[in-house]
Amino acid sequence: MATPLRIAWWRRRRTRDLLFQAALIAGVLLLFGIMANNAIQTVERQHIATGFGFLDHTAGFDVVQTLVRYDETSTYGRVLLVGILNTLLVAAIGIVLATLLGFLVGIGQLSSNWLVARLARSFVEIVRNLPLLLQIFFWYFAVLRALPGPRESWGVADAVFLNNRGLYLPAPVAESGFGFVMLAFAAGAIASIFMFLRAKAVRERTGRVSPVAPGTTALLVVPALLASAAAGFPMSFSVPALSGFNFQGGIVVLPEMMALVVALATYTASYIAEIVRAGIEGVARGQTEAAQALGLNRGQMLRLVIVPQAMRQIIPPLTSQYLNLTKNSSLAVAIAYPDLVSVFAGTTLSQTGQAIEIIAITMAVYLTLSLLTSAFMNWYNARVALTER
Amino acid sequence: MANAPTKASRPPPRAPLPGPIEWLRENLFSSWGNAALTVVALLILYWVVVPFVRWAFIDAAWTGTGRDDCLAFENGACWPFVSERIGQIIYGFYDVTERWRVDLTLIGLALGLLWLTMPGMPGKRPVGAVMVLAYPLIAFVLLAGGFGLEEVPTTRWGGLLMTLVVAFTGIVASLPLGILLALGRRSELPVVKGLSVAFIELWRGVPLVTVLFMAANMLPLFVGLSVNKLLAALIAVALFSSAYMAEVIRGGLQAIPKGQYEAAAAMGLSYWRSMAFVILPQALRLSLPNIVGNFIGLLKDTSLISIIGFFDLLGIVQAGATDPEWATPNTALTGYAFVGAVFWAMCFGMSRYATHLEGVLGAGGRR
């Protein structure tokens, strides 16, 4: 009667799990096989080249904005590099502006000033609920295209000009002896970091707080100033000036890039503002009361108690917003800013027809950025968790 | 001689000022810094709101039939562009005589959504099942044709109709796919888990634009025959949004206490039954606000299909604004204002609903 319970082998859980997983692998492989087979047949039928050899072929088209040397004889591989750099440039500028605006609006939402809080809240509610593409179109077609032409540009101090061809800024030009100045600046920067760390060590050991801001600022500025005076100020500015129908000299920020940066920065700022608000509200009320009980003033309370704890909550979602901004910069293709998608997945794809390789490379670039970001996030979370207890 | 006091006595506490003046003082002018902030905020409001109101209402052209009627109003919106083109903006190039089918589809959608979102309506479960299972089929037949209805090829769809079709398909398809992926990511089977993680991270790691490019350029190669372009885009949107949905639902699954899993197992429920009857009802309830948040993102993202050549709500207005028949300096901006208002109303409504859900769940759902 008490025979041990025996389960037939095909009903055992382990067998079933194994079989199920084997079937799943087989199914996925079959799907990929069919897709690959179809792709090979279609590619052969349509006489499309395969492989990554096209990266060495001459591209033969012009790109309006390049951070590295590029001309019509450059290769598609060079186009890829140009596209990646342009994407990173827009993303970097956008991230800085979005962070500044986002923190400003986020703190504004918590202001005791009724009007400021309402204004910040309205900004978030309006910008967050409109499609990003609509906002890019708005800035590009409705705002920047409507600016006056070069002859009627808006100018500031005869050095900065804004018109419908772009934003013209003075460009610094390094002359001989500039390396010497940079060296002096680097030395000053290292010395100021050293001074800051020393003051911190003293504070942690003795509890004595000594103001370091004047010293570190002086170390940053004075050596560089002295060095440039000694070298005879080896830097000049190339100032944009109207000649003929357009401006010459200086650096120009294309309207496409301005529209993209402004739209990305304001859109992402509306999300960052919410993250910042939630982060600050998430710090327990007792922390504020404890800080007040310790006799900290408002500035110290924010700097030493509230912000470090709020940052712990803010940074992980903030990083994913940075990533979103980078991915959203691919909307550049809609207004023909020469980002990765626009020059590579757009122009290069239509010229070579090698859809599979090009889309795969493009996706791989974004995927790498994403994985790097999540790796950083995991590292940061682990660090914060360690210092918690 | 009376003794002069050596120290001036402190002033008595200030009596509250009458009514609204006290409120102003407390909330806007409590200190010099605060007063300065108030002035800055007022200036920003003045610079933004006044020109907008003037442009959109006071200086705007309200009636007319062509660009000449708008050119007279140099600094105002060109509303006739919207009112004359409203048919195209809603239906795209859908045959005029067949537009009643679109109306019927959209009314059905609106009624279903109202039923499901209004608190206290009876029979939400069957209505929800109808909306998810039967409605898409009915809507497809109504829109595309068949069963005695004249066929309308998808190339003629556009405008608000196109936006809603893409958004609704994405929503309906991403829910079940997202649930499966979220369960897969938490599975104990290494192959299931690995494939789910790879799928989710792949789509979440790339921009939607590249996914749409893939659908337009690569999918036909993989399938080996010509695919309906709209179908390809819909598949891309569904795969993309299911990855995001999976992460939202995973958040809900993680919030379910372990005891619930153990209780379900103790009742002798199989994996699928314990998921269907114990875990998922709770997890989906918890993640409902975030699911709605995801829908908002999806609705906004539908506008990207104009990049691969569809005329959705934004795309058709953008195309119309460059039409020489209507080209004025204000046409594009008027179109954007209209499209923005439509999108904003839909997204803001949904986000309000999500906040409302959060309140309801926060009050009753947790102990």
Are B206 and A366 within 8 A, CB to CB?
A: yes
Dist CA A74 CA A214 (whole Å) = 50
Considering only CB atoms, B195 lies closest to which of A28, A43, A369, namely A28
**Contact between chains at A115 and B42 (C-beta distance less than 8 A):** yes
A130: nearest CB among B209, B221, B340: B340
Put simply, the answer to whether B347 touches A362 (Cβ < 8 Å) is: no
Instruction: Looking at mean pLDDT, say which of A300-314, A333-347, B116-130 comes out highest.
Output: A333-347
CB contact under 8 A, B329 and A146: yes
- Taking only residues 283 to 342 of chain A, the set having a beta carbon closer than 8 angstroms to any beta carbon of chain B reads 327-328, 330-331, 333-334, 341
Return the residue in B221, B271, B313 with the most chain A beta carbons within 10 A, the one to mutate for interface testing: B221
B58: burial class by Cβ within 10 Å (0-12, 13-18, 19+)? exposed
Query: DSSP characters for A268-297?
Result: HHHHHHHHHHHHHHTS-HHHHHHHHHTT--
Contacts of B38 in chain A (CB under 8 A): 113, 115-116
Q: Do B340 and A134 touch (CB under 8 A)?
A: yes
Percent of residues, chain B, with pLDDT higher than 90: 40
In chain B, residues with a C-beta closer than 8 Å to the C-beta of A24 are 191-192, 195
Using the Cα atoms of residue B348, residue B350, residue B352 and residue B354 in order, give the sign of their dihedral.
negative
Angle, vertex CA A321, rays to CA A320 and CA A324, nearest 5: 90
Do A42 and B220 make contact, defined as CB atoms within 8 angstroms? Answer: yes
Q: How confident is the model at residue A385 (pLDDT cuts 50, 70, 90)?
A: low
Average pLDDT value over all residues in chain B: 87
Residues of A in contact with B223 (CB under 8 A): 35, 38
Closest CA relative to residue B304, chosen from B245, B236, B244: B236
pLDDT of residue A388: 46
Are B44 and A133 within 8 A, CB to CB?
no
Check residue A2 and give its pLDDT. Answer: 61
Helix, strand, coil tally for chain B in percent (to 5): 75, 0, 25
Whether the CB of A375 is below 8 Å from some CB of chain B: the reply is no
By mean pLDDT, which of A86-95, B76-85, B148-157 is the weakest?
Answer: B148-157
Burial (0-12, 13-18, 19+ Cβ within 10 Å), B227:
middle
Domains detected in chain A = 76-170+239-388 (1.10.3720.10)
For A357, the closest chain B residue by CA position comes to B218
Q: Chain B residue with minimal CA distance to A117?
A: B41
Q: Do B28 and A114 touch (CB under 8 A)?
A: yes
Q: Does B138 score more than 80 pLDDT?
A: yes
* pLDDT reading at B365 higher than 50: no
Smallest Cβ–Cβ distance between B206 and the set A28, A112, A363 belongs to A363
- Nearest residue on chain A to B30, judged by CA atoms? A113
What is the 3-class SS of A329-353, one letter each residue? HHHHHHHCCCCHHHHHHHHHHHHHC
**Nearest chain A alpha carbon to B349:** A129
Closest Cβ opposite residue B191 in set A25, A113, A132: A25
Between A91 and A179, whose confidence is greater?
A91
Does the pLDDT value for residue B212 go beyond 90?
yes
- Say if residues A46 and B213 touch (Cβ distance below 8 Å): no
Q: How far is B34 from chain A (nearest CA, A)?
A: 6
Query: Angle at Cα B64 formed by Cα B63 and Cα B69, nearest 5°?
Result: 110
Task: Count other C-beta atoms under 10 Å from residue B51's C-beta.
Answer: 12
CA distance A145 to chain B (A): 10
The answer to which of A223-232, A319-328, B55-64 has the lowest mean pLDDT is: A223-232
| Predicted local distance difference test score (pLDDT) of residue B2 | 57
This complex has an ipTM of 0.89
Chain CA centroid to CA B133, Å: 22
Tell whether A40 is within 8 A of chain B (Cβ): no
Within chain A, what is the greatest distance between any pair of CA atoms? 106
* CATH for the stretch B158-365: 1.10.3720.10
Give residue A165's pLDDT: 81
In this complex, do A111 and B209 lie within 8 Å of one another by their Cβ atoms?
no
pLDDT digits (tens, 9 = 90+) for B29-43: 777 888 888 889 899
pLDDT band at B209 (very low <50, low <70, confident <90, very high): very high
Name residues whose C-beta falls within 8 Å of residue A155's C-beta, 6 or more positions apart in sequence: A161, A162
Q: Is the pLDDT of residue B5 over 80?
A: no
Q: Are A136 and A282 in contact (CB under 8 A)?
A: no
Chain B residues whose beta carbon lies within 8 Å of the beta carbon of residue A116? 37-38, 41
A38-87 tens-digit pLDDT: 888 888 887 777 888 888 888 888 888 888 888 888 889 999 999 999 99
Going by pLDDT thresholds of 50, 70 and 90, the confidence category of residue B4 is: low
Q: Does the beta carbon of A367 lie under 8 angstroms from any beta carbon of chain B?
A: yes
Tokens of B337: 């204002």
Please list the alpha-helical segments (H only) found in A61-212. 76-109, 114-128, 132-137, 178-206
To the nearest whole Å, the CA of A293 is away from the closest chain B CA by 24
Cross-chain residue pair B303–A134, CB shorter than 8 Å: yes
| Contact of A327 with A366, CB cutoff 8 Å | yes
**Residue A133: pLDDT above 50?**
yes
Nearest by CB: B336 against A43, A142, A345? A142
Q: What is the pLDDT of residue A360?
A: 92
* CA B292 distance to own-chain centroid: 8
Span A151-155, average pLDDT: 76
pLDDT bucket at A100, cuts 50 / 70 / 90: very high
| Contact: B213, A111; criterion CB under 8 Å | no
Choose, out of A320, A330, A337, the residue to mutate when testing the contact with B (most B CBs < 10 Å): A330
Name the band, by pLDDT with cuts 50, 70 and 90, for residue A164.
confident
Q: Which residues of B touch A21 (CB under 8 A)?
A: 189-192
pLDDT tens digit string along B245-278?
999 999 999 888 999 999 999 999 988 999 999 9
Q: Which residue of B has its CA nearest to A374?
A: B205
* Residue B1 reports pLDDT greater than 70: no
Least confident piece of the model among A20-29, A175-184, A355-364, B224-233: A175-184
Between vectors from CA B300 to CA B299 and to CA B301, what angle results, nearest 5°?
A: 90
Which of B44, B191, B321 lies at the smallest CB-CB distance from A24? Answer: B191
Phi, psi (degrees; rounded to nearest 5) at A296: -70, 145
Evaluate if residue B27 carries a pLDDT over 90.
no
CB contact under 8 A, B195 and A24: yes
Distance in Å, alpha carbon of A125 to nearest chain B alpha carbon? 8
Q: Is the pLDDT of residue A290 over 80?
A: yes
Q: Do B314 and A345 touch (CB under 8 A)?
A: no
Q: Which residue of B has its CA nearest to A344?
A: B210
Residues A112, B217: C-beta atoms closer than 8 Å = no
Q: Return the ∠ at Cα B104 (arms to B98 and B105), rounded to 5°.
A: 100
C-alpha B313/C-alpha A335 separation (Å) is: 18
User: Are the C-beta atoms of residues B304 and B76 closer than 8 Å to each other?
Assistant: no
Residue A54 region, left (φ>0) first, then alpha (ψ -120 to 50), else beta?
Answer: alpha
